[in-house]
Each structure stands twice: as structure tokens, then as C-alpha cells.
Amino acid sequence: MQENINSNKINEQKLNDFMLRAVGDIASTLSAVLVLIGYRLGLYKAMALSGKPLTSEELAKKTNTNGRLIKEWLANQVASGYIIYNASNAEYSLPPEQAMALADENSSVYILGAYQAIRSYFKDEDKFVDIFKTGKGMKWEEHHHDLFEGTALFYKPNYVGNLVSLWIPSLEGVEQKLKQGAKVADIGCGYGVSTIILANAYPNSKFYGFDNHGPSIEQAKNQVRQEEEKQDND
């Protein structure tokens, strides 16, 4: 039997306030997908590197994408306040502040990893529903790989900007030990981002990364190999 919800006591103002909030959440969720598309297609980076405002056709040409769809994407980004539009010449620009957050992977405020991690939650929805029914919980490796990649991408800028310059020096006596030479275990190293940064900063010390997630360890090893190749080429 269908249950009816009593609407006789509804406060219209409270209902309208809630609907505005909910519609805002819906718009943000939909726009988050377009932010990820901008990341995957290199749209933000292309705008940041252009050095000047671009028309939608110019951005499409730079990124080898469809001009009509790029124009629609730009309209959403302008409405969201991510990109600025100049109606007098139909050009779009990515302000330097937004570029720091959306186009510079080494910026301390780069946020694209958070969007990728959030995407993983939607892909794991069925698993979460089962968890709520059974209370069994979920292992890290059972998540979608977007969570692992997004987490590494999200935290890397903070590690790059703060780990060696601020965090380690704030620990009494630790930096001196690392400079002299120490053995360090990074438990739960994930993709090895912080481990590699520390190893490069303190060459007299030995750093060992441990993680119970095999694919993350493999990715960390790949990162180490890339770092070694980079150093050999310098």
C-alpha cells in the first residue's frame, strides 16, 4: 500500500529555501562532470598556457576538440565563475587564480584530484548501498581506481609545496637526522608521492614505501623509475 506524505503543514518559505539549495547542489554536481572533462581534454591547461584570451574556435583548435561542444562547455564554465567571458570580442580567459587551481599540477591549491576522487564515489554506489544494508565495510582495494588516482593527484601539490619547506622543519630534530642519514618507513605510501619527494630532498637517507594495495605499489615503482630516468637525463 502506498503511503501518502501529509503536505498540509508545509511551510512554503522553508520549501522554497530548500529547493534553491537542492537545485544549487544539482547544478554543482552536473558542473563537476564538465570540470573533469576540462581536465581530461586539457582545456584548462591550454587556456593557461595560451598567454592570451581565446575564442571558442581557437580553444577547440588548440585541443583538437569539437568547436560547438567546446562553446557549450565554456558557457557552463562562465556561468560557474571558472572562466571569464568578454562579450565585446567573444573571447574567453582563465584568470590566474583559477589557473592555479585548475591547470597547474604543482600548485599548492590544485584541486582536480578531488573531482576525480568524487567521481569514484558514484562508480561505487552499488557497493555503498550494500554496505549500508549489511554493515560489512569495504576494503581500500575494492574502491574504483579513480579514488586512488584522485587521492594522489589531490595531495601531491600540498606535499610539493609544504612537506620539505614547512612540515619536516617543524618536527624537532627530524630534519637534521634526515640530512645526516636515516632509514624511514612510509607506511601507507600509496602512489609514493611523498616518499619520492623526501628521497630527493634528503639523499643521505633511505626511504622505504609500504602499502597493502598492490596496484598503488606498482604505480609508486613506476613513479620511481620515471624519476630516475628524469635525473639521468638532467
- For 175-194, write each residue's pLDDT tens digit: 999 999 999 999 999 999 99
Strand ranges in 34-191 using DSSP code E only, listed in sequence order: 84-86, 91-93, 183-187
In a domain, 31, yes or no: yes
What percent of the chain clears pLDDT 70, i.e. is strictly above it? 97
Place of cell 560547438: 68
In a domain, 145, yes or no: yes
Task: List, in order, residues 6 or more apart from 118 with CB less than 8 Å away.
Answer: 32, 150
In a domain, 165, yes or no: yes
In a domain, 107, yes or no: no
Compute the distance between CA of residue 189 and CA of residue 196 in angstroms, rounded to an integer: 10
Compute the distance between CA of residue 107 and CA of residue 127 in angstroms, rounded to an integer: 34
User: Do 70 and 117 share a structural domain?
Assistant: no
User: Do 130 and 217 share a structural domain?
Assistant: yes
User: Do 154 and 194 share a structural domain?
Assistant: yes
**Domain assignment of residue 188, given as a range:** 112-233
**Last residue in a domain, options 40, 69, 100:** 100
In a domain, 105, yes or no: no
In a domain, 212, yes or no: yes
User: Do 154 and 59 share a structural domain?
Assistant: no
* DSSP designation for 136: -
Please report, for the domain that includes residue 20, its CATH number. Answer: 1.10.10.10
**Last residue in a domain, options 70, 100, 130:** 100
Please say if the pLDDT value at position 2 is more than 60. no
User: Do 122 and 96 share a structural domain?
Assistant: no
User: Do 228 and 122 share a structural domain?
Assistant: yes
User: Do 42 and 72 share a structural domain?
Assistant: yes
User: pLDDT tens digit string along 10-49?
Assistant: 888 999 999 999 999 998 898 999 999 999 999 999 999 9
User: pLDDT tens digit string along 60-116?
Assistant: 999 999 999 999 999 999 999 999 999 999 999 999 999 999 999 888 889 999 999
In a domain, 61, yes or no: yes
Closest CA to 217 of 185, 196, 186, 191: 191
User: Do 120 and 60 share a structural domain?
Assistant: no
In a domain, 65, yes or no: yes
Residue 6: pLDDT band (50, 70, 90) is low
User: Do 137 and 58 share a structural domain?
Assistant: no
User: Do 92 and 131 share a structural domain?
Assistant: no
Place of cell 634528503: 202
Compute the distance between CA of residue 76 and CA of residue 93 in angstroms, rounded to an integer: 14
The tally of domains found in the chain comes to: 2
User: Do 68 and 160 share a structural domain?
Assistant: no
**Last residue in a domain, options 100, 128, 154:** 100
User: Do 201 and 120 share a structural domain?
Assistant: yes
What percent of the chain clears pLDDT 90, i.e. is strictly above it? 83
